[in-house]
Amino acid sequence: MTTSFPESGKGRDEVLAALTQARAHDLASDGRAFAFVYDPGEHAREVARAAFAACMPINGLDPTVYPSARQLENAVVKACLELMHAPAGAAGTATAGGTESVMLAVKTARDFARKTRPEVTAPKMLLPITAHACFHKAAHYLGVEVVSVDVDPVTFRASVADAARKMSADVILVVGSAPSYAHGVIDDIRGLAALAAKHGTLMHVDACVGGCVLPFLRDLGVSGPDFDFGVEGVTSISMDLHKYGFAPKGISILLQRRRELRDAQYYTCATWTGYSIINSTTLGSKSVAALGAAYALIQHLGKEGYRERATRMWDATKKLVALVDATEGLEMVGRPDMNLFAFKTTGGDLFTLADRLTAKGWHVQPTYQYGPSPAHIHLTLDPENARRAQELGNDLASCSKDLPPAAEAPEGVVAFLANLASGADGVDTHAIVEEMGLGSGTMPAESAPLHRIMNAMTPDAREKLLVLFFAELFS
Ligand SMILES: *Cc1c(COP(=O)(O)O)cnc(C)c1O
């Protein structure tokens, strides 16, 4: 790509061709990606694209100037409130993504506590270790302390008993996942919500990945823990429409059980010389295009369309889980309540298996060990890759044969990189990134050695190394 600011403009076709070319190595939506892609199928994708383009001129900053922004948001929020069995008086907001929904849920809890429990000076949240990283990010940004809650090492459900032990007068929020991203497991939301209610604290259910699937699985008779507003004590729920709502990136919904909670989520400012603001989310001027696409998809697919896709994904999940169970050398990590799950190798080298699957054209997600969760391969099913579940299953079975034994990362390299990441001055980060095979900015075809090293590092060293690597990619 041309990276400098050109003196004179180029033609439309030339510019668009450059974009097409730039995207040549991106993850394709061809049913072979078992992470990242949430594809409702070509026809629905086309509807979303047209809706996105139609809503491009809208600025969500001021719904009195762009009434369509308000209408779209109210319509989509209402549909989500219905799915989550919200009581009368519940309210919601369209956000830019799951991370923003979660950050706003944490902000709500913090600010609601400031108002109603002024004695709390060091706010804390009870957070299962399986909860999404964005809660840690929220805690970091908002000055809320994370109190980690253990999970059962077999089911990976949050331990309500451990949460009860760690409950204190400073806790402003209890969190549960429906389901967790890594293992696809729904926490005991009833148990966690009862604990929160008993202590007069708020409870957020992270249904970012599950919110647009679980209600339809329940319609189909697939059972699992209750997780929505039907559970007393649940005070907010996040659900990402840019995952299984199938909308383009940039749209999630945060629902609050009561309007006064959403008031605590809002931010207003009249102490400057420009226009007075009230923002429901972190952004000021904001696109409503993805919200418009979400609206179009909800209307176009209807519950039937979502149910049909949920069935396909769940059937494929059951097929793959059964295959993992039946394959020597593979083992499930937890049991999914939805169409995403984790499995590991028992003896054979996990990261070699991941490389073999990559070589066969599949995109899977190797994930590192943390706490009781071992290094594993994560698979997310979507309506399109579900069609290829048998094909992936066949390759999974053949690739897991004759795996070399799990290899240790070279200790010297791990120590060297950890030391480097912790801030050795004058290091040629560019050379190191090249040496690691990451010079092109994508993972090398043989990424097992790299994953092995990352997996062996402490979380702290891993975080620092990521900064080094990421900063290099963007320089
Ligand atoms: C994806 C996800 C998030 C974060 O959402 P983003 O849209 O990536 O910001 C939070 N929680 C869970 C369970 C998720 O799967």
Q: Is the separation of the CB atoms in 233 and 193 below 8 Å? A: yes
What integer pLDDT is reported at residue 424 of this predicted model? Answer: 67
For ligand 1, atom 8, which residue shows the shortest CA distance? 98
Q: Is the separation of the CB atoms in 342 and 183 below 8 Å? A: yes
Q: Which atom of ligand 1 is nearest to the CA of 180?
A: 13
Sign of CA dihedral 213, 219, 223, 227: positive
Burial letters for 43-64: b for 16+ Cβ neighbours within 10 Å, e otherwise?
A: ebbebbeebbeebeebebbebe
Give pTM, 2 decimals: 0.97
What integer pLDDT is reported at residue 472 of this predicted model? Answer: 86
Give the CA distances from residue 81 to residues 77, 108, 243, 249, in Å, rounded to whole numbers and listed in that order. Answer: 6, 18, 17, 21
Nearest-angstrom CA–CA distance, 16 and 45: 20
Q: Which atom of ligand 1 is nearest to the CA of 240?
A: 7
Give the CA distances from residue 103 to residues 99, 174, 189, 238, 240, in Å, rounded to whole numbers and listed in that order. Answer: 6, 14, 20, 10, 13
What integer pLDDT is reported at residue 353 of this predicted model? Answer: 98
Pocket lining: 187 vs ligand 1, CB cutoff 6 Å: no
Structural domains in the chain plus CATH codes: 51-296 (3.40.640.10), 411-473 (no CATH)
According to DSSP, the β-strands at 124-128 and 171-177 are parallel
Here the tokens at position 450 are 């790299």
What integer pLDDT is reported at residue 430 of this predicted model? Answer: 83
Which of 229, 294, 274, 383 has its CA nearest to residue 95?
294
Which of 382, 384, 368 has its CA nearest to residue 333?
368
For ligand 1, atom 5, which residue shows the shortest CA distance? 98
Dihedral through CA 68, CA 71, CA 76, CA 80, nearest 10?
160
What's the CA-to-centroid distance between 176 and ligand 1, angstroms?
13
Here the tokens at position 395 are 């390759």
pLDDT tens across the length of the chain (475 residues): 888 999 999 999 999 999 999 999 899 889 999 999 999 999 999 999 999 999 999 999 999 999 999 999 999 999 999 999 999 999 999 999 999 999 999 999 999 999 999 999 999 999 999 999 999 999 999 999 999 999 999 999 999 999 999 999 999 999 999 999 999 999 999 999 999 999 999 999 999 999 999 999 999 999 999 999 999 999 999 999 999 999 999 999 999 999 999 999 999 999 999 999 999 999 999 999 999 999 999 999 999 999 999 999 999 999 999 999 999 999 999 999 999 999 999 999 999 999 999 999 999 999 999 999 999 999 999 999 999 999 999 999 999 999 999 988 888 988 888 888 887 667 788 888 888 788 778 888 889 999 999 999 999 999 988 988 888 888 8
What's the CA-to-centroid distance between 8 and ligand 1, angstroms?
41
What integer pLDDT is reported at residue 434 of this predicted model? Answer: 82
